[in-house]
Each structure stands twice: as C-alpha cells, then as structure tokens.
C-alpha cells in the first residue's frame, strides 16, 4: 500500500470562493494592512485590531464556501483507492473534511477557523457562537469562562505551530512514497519544509501551483494548470 501525502495550500480553495493570500490577486497583495489583523502581537495589544478582526471573520467567505472539484477528488482517492492517503493542510476552512475526507486523516497545520480559543484559560467554543455575539453587538467578545481575549483557533503570524501537529506532519512526509503539494507557494515555513523532507526520504514529488515555488527543482513533475481540473486528473493515476 502506497502512502500518498497531500499538502494543500490556499490555492486549492480559491474555486470555492475563498481568496488566497500571496497569489496575483491575493489578500496580502490587495490589502497589506489586513495582515495586521491576523498578527498575534498586534491582535493582543490593540482592541481596535481585534474589533476589525471580528468584522473580517463575520464577513469571511469561508462560511459560504463549499468543497470544490479538487477537494472532492482528494476525498474520492481516500475512499476508493488501495493507498493510504493523508492530507496535511495549511488551510483553516475545513473544506477537506466537508468533502468527505475523514477528520482523522486531515492534519490542520494552522488550526481551524471554525473554533475560537481563549488566550488566557484556553477554553474553546465554536466560531458560530462567537459571531452570534458579534452580531448582537459585542465588538470584541470576551471569554465567557474567564473574561480573557478570544481569538480564532488558527495560527496567527508570530505564533508557532502546535508541536504535536508539526511532528505528525513530519512523520507523514518522511514515510510518504508520493507527496503532492497543491495550491501553495511553499514560502511559509515550517510547512514548506515538508516538501523537501519528503523528497529527501525518497518520495516522488508533484507540485500543482499557478506560480513557481522554491521546491520546483525537486519535483518529478510541476503542473501549472488550474487546480480544479489538473488535480482530479493527477489523482486518477493513483487509483
């Protein structure tokens, strides 16, 4: 049984209506100030940044998004092939799980936008509950358990990845025989380093991304075609 590891970035979700960050029309290029809203030190220090962040979350396209052909192709591969499939995602949208990939087979490197966490007591609750409070007039909703600052349970700029999640991702990369990086610029570390780690341990590497990445030279094949059509076609090879 072949272990197929899929590292997905923001580009896999653009067909679902969720903008990427660093692409030609990416969020950070269109509005560099938006990055401050997901930077931990700025978020914790400035109530105005938090208020703007909650409005950004309230209006996020994530809540209207549905899995697209690429997400569904990954779920089909996991469900019908004789291969072991593991998804390592940089995304926080939950679309792999919504498409049908079992939750236990998806590693969310950067957390989940569907959950909020208290920065003081670590209590967790749903984003839907927090946004209901925002809609009711709470501009910067505090933790109901201790009054601490709430944030999305995602890894902000300036925060480290969960060590246990990163360790699991590294183990998958090392053990994989096929490693497919899709929709990622492969510029954000340590997530991008998983590609090099897989290649070093003998995996055949495919990169599916609109723009060049720092790891293209290591790839068995680089695919520049639209992800919604090219990824399903690629994954059919591994049935």
- What fold, for 1-18+67-110+160-239? Rossmann fold (3.40.50)
Single out the residue of 78, 27, 62, 67 nearest to residue 180, CA to CA: 78
Q: Do 231 and 182 form a contact (C-beta atoms < 8 A)?
A: yes
pTM: 0.91
CATH of 19-64+113-154, one of 3.40.50.1000, 2.40.110.10, 3.30.1600.10, 3.30.420.40: 3.30.1600.10
pLDDT value of position 26: 53
State which residues of the chain have pLDDT below 50: 28
pLDDT value of position 196: 97
Please, where in the chain does CATH 3.40.50.1220 lie?
1-18+67-110+160-239
pLDDT value of position 238: 85
pLDDT value of position 186: 95
- 230, with CB counted inside 10 A (0-12, 13-18, 19+), is middle
pLDDT value of position 36: 86
pLDDT value of position 33: 72
- Helix (H), strand (E) at residue 207: strand 204-208
Give the up-direction half-sphere exposure of residue 145: CA atoms within 13 A in the CB hemisphere: 11
Q: Do 11 and 65 form a contact (C-beta atoms < 8 A)?
A: no
Active-site annotation, residues:
110
């Amino acid at each position: 049984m072949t272990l197929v590891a899929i590292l997905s970035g923001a580009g896999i979700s653009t067909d679902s209506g969720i903008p990427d960050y660093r692409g030609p029309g990416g969020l950070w290029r269109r509005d560099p100030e938006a990055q401050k809203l997901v930077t931990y030190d700025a978020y914790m220090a400035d109530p105005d940044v938090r208020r703007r962040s909650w409005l950004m979350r309230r209006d996020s396209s994530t809540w209207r998004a549905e899995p697209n052909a690429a997400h569904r192709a990954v779920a089909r591969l996991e469900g019908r092939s004789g291969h072991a499939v593991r998804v390592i995602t940089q995304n926080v949208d939950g679309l792999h799980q919504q498409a049908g990939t079992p939750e236990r087979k998806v590693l969310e490197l950067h957390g989940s936008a569907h959950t909020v966490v208290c920065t003081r007591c670590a209590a967790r609750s749903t984003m839907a509950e927090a946004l209901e409070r925002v809609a009711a007039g709470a501009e910067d909703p505090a933790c109901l358990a201790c009054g601490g600052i709430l944030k999305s349970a995602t890894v902000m700029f300036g925060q480290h990845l969960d060590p246990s999640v990163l360790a699991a991702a590294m183990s998958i990369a090392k053990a994989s025989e096929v490693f497919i990086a899709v929709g990622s610029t492969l510029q954000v570390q340590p997530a991008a380093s998983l590609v090099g780690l897989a290649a070093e341990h003998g995996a055949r590497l495919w990169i599916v991304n609109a723009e060049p990445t720092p790891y293209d030279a290591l790839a068995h094949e680089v695919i520049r075609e639209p992800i919604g059509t090219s990824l399903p076609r690629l994954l059919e090879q591994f049935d």
